[in-house]
Structure formats: structure tokens, C-alpha cells
Amino acid sequence: METYSLTDPQRDRAKELYHKVDDGEISASTELVNEWKTPPRIPDPKLGSDSDYLPYPEETEFINPSNIAGTFESNINRFNSGRIKSHLARFHNDEFWREDPAPPRLQKIDNEYYVTSDGIHRSLTAKALALPELKCIYSIPPEEVLVHRKDR
């Protein structure tokens, strides 16, 4: 399978970040990337599984990780140093598959992507290394189901 090939500056960045995570200098998402936030609007949690809106249609494509803005409130503090180091090492060593059989799962809300339940550490790592693309599966919740977080 084809793997990502980093540029020399990306490879240097992967090595630098690996050591900072290993030394405990980086221990949170916002220390790894500049922006990592929760969406201002979310699908209405009161929406039942029998809703006509569910499931949301999904797309699979390569997106620019710089467009991944963060994750949902339940995952915002998830940061596993071991997983970040593993992904950094795999990217550094050209061992990270471009066609990941289980790519990160996202939702696109207000033209930004947010990681749902799978792929937080891969998305963070790809964003930190400024990769041009990352294969993802994303859904777009319809406007009718989105509510402001404070309105829940």
C-alpha cells in the first residue's frame, strides 16, 4: 500500500514533536496544534434514532487537515501521548498508509470539520505536520438539526 512521504521539514517536525511529547513538553491537543476547538453548533442531542434525518449521508475523500478544527465536547480533552508518538513515528518512517481502511470520521459543520469518535490522534498528527491531505469519512448534518451548544 502507498504511504505518505514527508518533506524534509515535515520529517524534522515529526522528530521534534515526537521528542517534545516524549519529554512531556506537549501533553494536550492545543500544545500540538494551534487550533483545536469544539463546534459552535452541534446536532440536536434530542434527535432520536428514528428521526428522518438519521443517518446523515457520508462522503469519503482526502481533505486538508488544516480544515479540521477540533472535536466534540466529549472528546476535547482526549490526548494519548503514546498514540501521538506512534503516529509521528509512522509518518516519519513513511509507514502511514494513505488509503487507511478505517479513516478518521468527521462531521462538517459551518465549513469546518470536527472529529467525531474515531481518528482524533491521526487528525491531530496530520494537522501538526501540515500534511496536504488525509483520507477521511465525513457527514454533513442538515441545518435543521443543528443547535447552538448553549441552547441544548
Residue 152 pLDDT greater than 60, yes or no: no
CA distances from residue 100 to 63, 91, 107 in whole angstroms, order as listed: 13, 13, 18
Average pLDDT over residues 18-22: 98
Note the pTM of the prediction, 2 decimals: 0.91
Give the pLDDT band of residue 100 (cuts 50, 70, 90).
confident
Q: Burial code of 36-61, b = ≥16 C-beta within 10 A, e = fewer? A: beebeebbbeeeeeeeeeeeeeeeee
Decide if 42 is inside a domain.
yes
Decide if 1 is inside a domain.
no
Residue 47 pLDDT greater than 80, yes or no: no
Total tally of structural domains belonging to the chain: 1
Q: Which domain holds residue 114?
A: 8-151
Decide if 3 is inside a domain.
no
Give the pLDDT band of residue 120 (cuts 50, 70, 90).
very high
For residue 13, give the CATH number of its domain.
Answer: 3.90.1530.10
Decide if 2 is inside a domain.
no
Decide if 51 is inside a domain.
yes
Decide if 101 is inside a domain.
yes
Number of H helices, E strands in the chain: 4, 7
